[in-house]
Structure 1
Amino acid sequence: MKPFAVAIAATLGLGSAAIAQAPEAKKAPAAPAPIDRSILHVQVILDKLGFGPGVLDGRGGISLVSALKGFQEARGLGITGKIDQPTLRALYPYRAARPTLTLTLDAASLRGPYIQSIPKDYAEQSKLDGMAYVRPIEKLAEMFHTTPAVIAALNPPGMRLAVGQKIVLPNALPSSRAYPSDATPEWRRTLAHLNVEANVPQAAKIVVDKSDKVVRAFDGNGRLVAQYSATIGSASDPLPLGNWKVLHVSPNPDWKMNPKILKGVSDSKEAQIIPPGPNNPVGVVWIDLSREHYGIHGTPDPEKIGRTESNGCVRLTNWDAARVALMVKSGMPVIFQA
C-alpha cells in the first residue's frame, strides 16, 4: 500500500517531488515555466479557503509560499511554506475543487465596456468615462484570478474568444454569491464579476505585516482566518507602523491623484480625479484607514503584487481586496507592523 501522504498526493495530482519541496521564489526565467496542474490545484484550494496565493498560475513562487505558511499557521501545522505531507492531509478534504474548469463563452462573459488603451498620463486618464478593461481576455483573466498569459497557456494556440467557444480557466468559482443585502447593486455586480466568495469569516482585527508582505485577518479569538499577499509601501513611502482603524469601505471608487503627496510626481502637475473601474490605480475598492491618505485597496496589475512597491498604501489583487472588504467594518483595528 502506498504511504498515506503519497496516496493524498496522487489524489491531488501531486508527484513526490511536490511533496518534498514547495515552489520557492526564483529569478525570472527567460520564458515562463510551464503550468503545473498540481501546483494550480493547491493554489485553487488555498484561494477558495481565503489564503490567497495571488495569481492562479500553476507556477508557484513567493505568493504561494506565503499562502502555504498562512494556511499552515491557521491549521496548527508546522510552518514550512512547503507542500509537505501534513499540509497535503489538511488539503485533502477540499480536493473536489478541481484546478480548472471548462466554460462556454456567452455574450455576457464577453460584454464590455472596454476602452482602447490606458493612457499613462493622469490628466488623460481623468478624461475617460471609466477605467474599464481594454479587451475581453483581460476581463476573463480577472474574473478567474489569473492573467491573460495563463489563459493562453491553458488553451490551444490561436484560440479566438467568441460566443460559443469553450475555454479552460482556473477554477475560481465561489461557493456562494449571497452578498450583503445592504450592498449596492453595482457593488454586488462587481463582487459577482470577480467571483468573490460571499461566505467569508468576519474579522475582528487586520494585521499588515511589512516583512512578510501579507495582510492577515484574525477573528475575535485571535485565530488567523484569512491571509493575502500584498504590496506594502516603498523606500520613499514606507509603511507607517502603528495602530490604526478602518474608517469606511468605498466600493468602485474614483481616485484623487494629488501630486503633493505622491512621490515621483512633480508638484507642478495638477491634481486629477481618476474615474472608477477595474483599471483605476486603487482598483475596485478602497478601505479607508484612520491614518490620513492611507488605505487597503486593489490594483490593475495583480501579477505585480508582492513584487513591486506602492505609494505607501497596502495593495492587493482586486479579488482579494474585495474579499477583505466583506470581512471588515468601521472601527475595526488595523495594525501595521514591521
Structure 2
Amino acid sequence: MRSWNEANGYPLADWTAVNTAARKAVPNPLATAIVPKVAKSWVDGSLPTSKALQAKRKRMTYRSIAEFMAERYHTDVEYLILLNGKKKVYSLKLQDTLVVPNVKPFTIETLTGAIYKLDEALSQRHVVVDTKKNQARFYEAAPVALIIDESEGEDAKPKAKGPNRGLIASFPITPGQPKFIHYGKWAVRNTVEFPSWRYDKSLLKTGKRSADSQTLEIPPGPNSPVGVLWCGLTKSGIGLHGTSDPETIGRARSAGCIRLANWDAVRLPTLIRPGTTVEIR
C-alpha cells in the first residue's frame, strides 16, 4: 500500500485511494477455479521431509493438490479452507472446482528452466531491499531510488514532487537473520528458473561453508527451499529467490538471502537482469 501511494503521489498511510483503485481494477475479489489436469505432474504426497531422502528425488513437488492450488492462486491452504471448507479442500481431485482469490494464476507448468541474460534496459534498474520493512522495491534507475523518511509521520508524502514514476514494483520479502545480512550494494550475477539447492547445515547455522562431502544437492521444484527461481548476487551465496513456504514471507527470517513467494519470484526476470544493482539496507 505504501509503495503504491509513493508511486502515485498519495500520503503513505492513506488507504482510500488504493482501495478505490483496487475495487475498480478487481470488482470481484473471489473467483471459481478448476483443478487443472497438469496438477497430476506436480503433486507427490510421498515427498519426504528428510534432506537426505529429498536429495534422492528428481523434483521437489507439491505434497497435495490443496498446496498446488493455494500457491497457484497466491494464498495458503488455510485460506482455501476458510473459503471452501476443510472437507472439500483436503479431498480435491483433478477437474474439481474451488473458490479462490481472483488473481492471475501462477502457472508453474510454463516454467522451462530458463537462464536469463543481460538486457539493455532491465540491467540498468535498481532494487532497494528494506530489511526493516520487509520490502523489495524496484526502480527504473538509482537516481530515483528514494526511500521515504517515515519518521516524518504517517501522512508523509514522497520527497519527489508528485508521483514517483521511477518506482515500478514492490514485493514483500523475508530477509536473512540480522547476523547474516550482507548490507551494501551488489549486482545481479545470474538468474535461473528451477535451481537446485546445496544443503549445507554449517552455512545455515554459522554462515560458513563446509566441505562439499558434507553437503546435499536438493533437486529443483516448488518445495525447494529456494523455490522456483534463483537470482544470484555478486556476493557469493546470496541472492533473491523463491520459497517452499510462502505463508512465512514477511513473517520469518532466512539464513541470509532474500526470499519472495514463488508467484512473485517468477516475475523478477521481467523486471531485472544480470547487472542490475541490488542495495540491501
Normalising by structure 1, report the TM-score: 0.66
Residue 269 of structure 2 aligns with an amino acid whose one-letter code is A
1:240 pairs, out of 182, 188, 201, with 182
Deviation at 1:305, TM superposition (A): 0.7
Distance in 1 separating the partners of 2:47 and 2:96: 28
Say if 2:128 and 2:278, in contact at 8 Å, map to a contact too. Answer: yes
CA contact (8 A) 1:77 1:87 kept: no
> 1:92: Cα distance to partner?
5.0
Q: 1:278 to 1:164 in 2, by over 3 A?
A: closer
Deviation at 1:163, TM superposition (A): 4.0
Name the structure 2 match of 1:105. 35
**1:207/1:336 contact within 8 Å kept:** yes
Q: CA deviation at 1:298?
A: 0.5
> Displacement of 1:149 after TM fit?
1.4
1:207 aligns with 2:128: yes
Specify the alignment match of 2:154 in structure 1.
none
| RMSD of aligned Cα (Å) | 2.7
Partner of 2:267: 323
Residues 307 and 292 of structure 1, relative CA distance in 2, 3 Å threshold: same
Aligned to 1:291: 235
| CA shift digits 1:168-226 (9 cap, x unpaired) | 1111226x99xxxxxx96248xxxxxxxxxxxx95711111111111110014721111
Q: Over residues 219-274 of structure 1, what are the superposed CA-to-partner deviations in whole Å (9 max), with x where a residue is unaligned? A: 1472111111111011342x111110001101100011234422169969811110
Q: Give 1:209's aligned amino acid.
A: D
Runs of 4+ in structure 1 over 6 Å off: none
**2:31 aligned counterpart, secondary structure:** strand
One-letter amino acid of the counterpart of residue 173, structure 2: A
Read off the aligned partner of 1:331 and give its amino acid letter: G
Unmatched 5+ stretches in structure 1: 1-67, 178-183, 189-200
TM-score normalised by structure 2 residue count: 0.79
Which residue, out of 183, 186, 202, partners 2:112? 186
d(CA) in 2 for partners of 1:112 and 1:187? 16
1:94 aligns with 2:18: no
Q: How many residues align?
A: 246
What is the deviation of 1:321?
A: 1.0
Q: State the 1:120 CA deviation.
A: 3.7
SS, match of residue 142 in structure 1: helix
5+ residue gaps, structure 2, are 115-120, 145-165
**Secondary structure, aligned partner of 1:225:** strand
Question: 1: CA distance between counterparts of 2:18 and 2:56?
Answer: 50
| CA deviation after TM superposition for structure 1 residue 164, in Å | 4.2
Correspondence 1:144 to 2:87: no
- 1:332–1:92: structure 2 CA closer, same or farther, 3 Å change rule? same
Higher relative contact order (CA 8 A, sep 6+): 2
Report the Cα distance in structure 2 between the residues aligned to 1:263 and 1:253, rounded to whole angstroms. Answer: 22
- Give the deviation of 1:128 after TM superposition: 1.3
Shift of 1:307: 0.9
Instruction: Report the Cα offset of residue 157 of structure 1.
Output: 4.9
Aligned partner of 1:217 in structure 2 is: 138
